[in-house]
Amino acid sequence: MHSETPWLGGVSSDELRRIVDALYRVHRFLAAITDLDTLLERVMEENKAVASAEACSLLLYDPQRNDLYFHVALGERGDQQALKRQIRLKLGQGIGGLAAEKRQSINVEDVRSFESWYRTADDLTQFDTKSLLAVPLEDHGTLIGVLELVNKQGGGAFTEADLRIMEIFATMVSTAIVNARLIEKNMRAERLAAIGEAVAGLSHYAKNILTGMSGTVDLIDQGLRAGNIEMLQRMWPLYRRNSFRLSTLVEDMLAFSKPREPVRTRCDVQQLIRDAVETFEELLIQKKVELVVDTSQAQGYVSIDPNGIHRCLLNLLSNAADAVPKEGGKVWVIARILPDETLQIEVADNGPGVPEELRERILEPFFSTKGSQGTGLGLAVTSKIIREHGGTLNIEKSQTGGALFRIVLPPEVHKPVKEVL
């Protein structure tokens, strides 16, 4: 029967089915596999199988150095890793380099008779190359790399059909590489933009604090020169407050910056709450906020990271202090160890509460409704620390309709050591 496609003329129907199946699988990989390296390995496996090759490699073009390097090398023998580490081909060097330079597929039955044969790769990998098929990878005229098939199984040259199939595969591989690079580039641009935005927000916040500090420093100077103790007494708490805000900012940035394993020690729960509340008491008194602390049901010891949990409590208290009304503000801190030994710490307030639609977003880093008065780091850091402990942070409504944040640490994550009284 006469074939419309001459290069398929000698292909048996079994072979044709194998080819179509392989193409079909590669198409599916392209749609399903998002990791480029995995995708390329799978496609190369298919290449190797469909053309009955002993080995198969993918060389990528490095435009900066104007040469090719091995990205994937699949073979049954030899040190393929050495290829990847050590060999780079100049354009025109070896059969792969020549295919890249000429932008043409090259099919060689016996490499030894080919004058451009580059034998260093064989010396390095102890591979005995006989036949080789090299197909350039291009995207809109731009060189991407070269596909290489080595040694047709059973001897002889790769067939015309092998060459055409590889050219189809090469088009798909080029598109996949170009797409993955574009996605990576966009992601990098987005990340950079997000970092820029975050840095701008944090700098603005820090600058506000520093402006406040330098104002109080000037007044403290004047007070010192005039021996005006009253002025010093008024200014000093302001200075302390700003320095506390600055250290909070730095601590939050550090806590946020990388994953951390909690450094657990045996802690007295009541003492832990007392420490956090004491740090905040002065500010709450200044703001005339009523503070109710109940730790009567939290007698006992837990194994947690005291610095981490202290940081969480300071952030929750600071948010509660920001949220309460100017008059009649009220904040509750309630800790309890439940009968099943779960530790719960609640920080609640009588502010406006967190709207339902914002409950997830407020945990995102840099999300703040406080403009230059907020960093949006507090809750991101708090939920991160709690997560790293293996606990959860719940957001609910307080009894007055304000916000209630509940830290829940189940017994298996704080491994309580029962106090023997």
Ligand X SMILES: Nc1ncnc2c1ncn2[C@@H]1O[C@H](COP(=O)(O)OP(=O)(O)O)[C@@H](O)[C@H]1O
Please select the residue that binds Mg ion; options are 353, 378, 391, 416, rule is CB under 5 A: 378
CB atoms within 10 A of CB 127: 20
Please provide the DSSP assignment of 247-298 as one string. Answer: HHHHHHHHHHHS------EEEEHHHHHHHHHHHHHHHHHHTT-EEEEEEEE-
Cα-based angle 118, 83, 29 (whole degrees, multiple of 5): 110
Query: Residue 282 carries which side chain, given as an amino acid letter?
Result: E
Compare residues 102 and 370 and give the one whose CB is closer to ligand X: 370
CA distance 419 to 421: 6
Compare residues 306 and 378 and give the one whose CB is closer to Mg ion: 378
Interface with ligand X includes 383 (CB under 6 A)? Answer: no
Query: Residue 230 carries which side chain, given as an amino acid letter?
Result: E
Interface with ligand X includes 244 (CB under 6 A)? Answer: no
Per rule CB under 5 A, count of chain residues that contact Mg ion: 2
Interface with ligand X includes 370 (CB under 6 A)? Answer: yes
CB of 164 to ligand X, least distance (A): 59
Binds 203: which of Mg ion, ligand X, none (CB < 5-8 Å by kind): none
Name which of 137, 71, 69, 65 is nearest 103 in CA terms.
137
- Name the one range near Mg ion by CB under 5 A: 181-189, 192-200, 280-288, 315-323: 315-323
Compare residues 145 and 378 and give the one whose CB is closer to Mg ion: 378
CB of 319 to Mg ion, least distance (A): 4
Instruction: Return phi, psi of residue 398, to 5°.
Output: -80, 175
CA distance 289 to 94: 79
Compare residues 97 and 329 and give the one whose CB is closer to ligand X: 329
Compare residues 42 and 245 and give the one whose CB is closer to Mg ion: 245
Binds 300: which of ligand X, Mg ion, none (CB < 5-8 Å by kind): none
Please select the residue that binds ligand X; options are 262, 306, 308, 376, rule is CB under 6 A: 376
Binds 201: which of ligand X, Mg ion, none (CB < 5-8 Å by kind): none
CA distance 329 to 352: 11
CB of 331 to ligand X, least distance (A): 9
3-class SS letters over 33-47: CCCHHHHHHHHHHHH
Please select the residue that binds ligand X; options are 208, 341, 367, 392, rule is CB under 6 A: 367
CB of 251 to Mg ion, least distance (A): 12
Query: Residue 248 carries which side chain, given as an amino acid letter?
Result: T
Nearest-CB residue for ligand X: 378
* Residues 133 and 148: beta-carbon distance below 8 Å: yes
CA distance 350 to 188: 42
Q: Do β-strands 290-297 and 330-337 pair in parallel, antiparallel, or remain unpaired?
A: parallel
* Residues 100 and 93: beta-carbon distance below 8 Å: no
Segment 19-78, which members bind ligand X (CB under 6 A)?
none
CA distance 8 to 388: 60
Q: Sketch the per residue contact string, 298 through 337, with ligand X: x for CB under 6 A, - otherwise.
A: -----------------x---xx--x--------------
Interface with ligand X includes 368 (CB under 6 A)? Answer: yes
Compare residues 176 and 331 and give the one whose CB is closer to ligand X: 331
Name which of 181, 97, 107, 189 is nearest 139 in CA terms.
181
Compare residues 162 and 252 and give the one whose CB is closer to ligand X: 252
Q: Interface with ligand X by CB under 6 A: which residues?
A: 315, 319-320, 323, 349, 351, 353-354, 362, 367-370, 374-380, 403
Q: Interface with Mg ion by CB under 5 A: which residues?
A: 319, 378
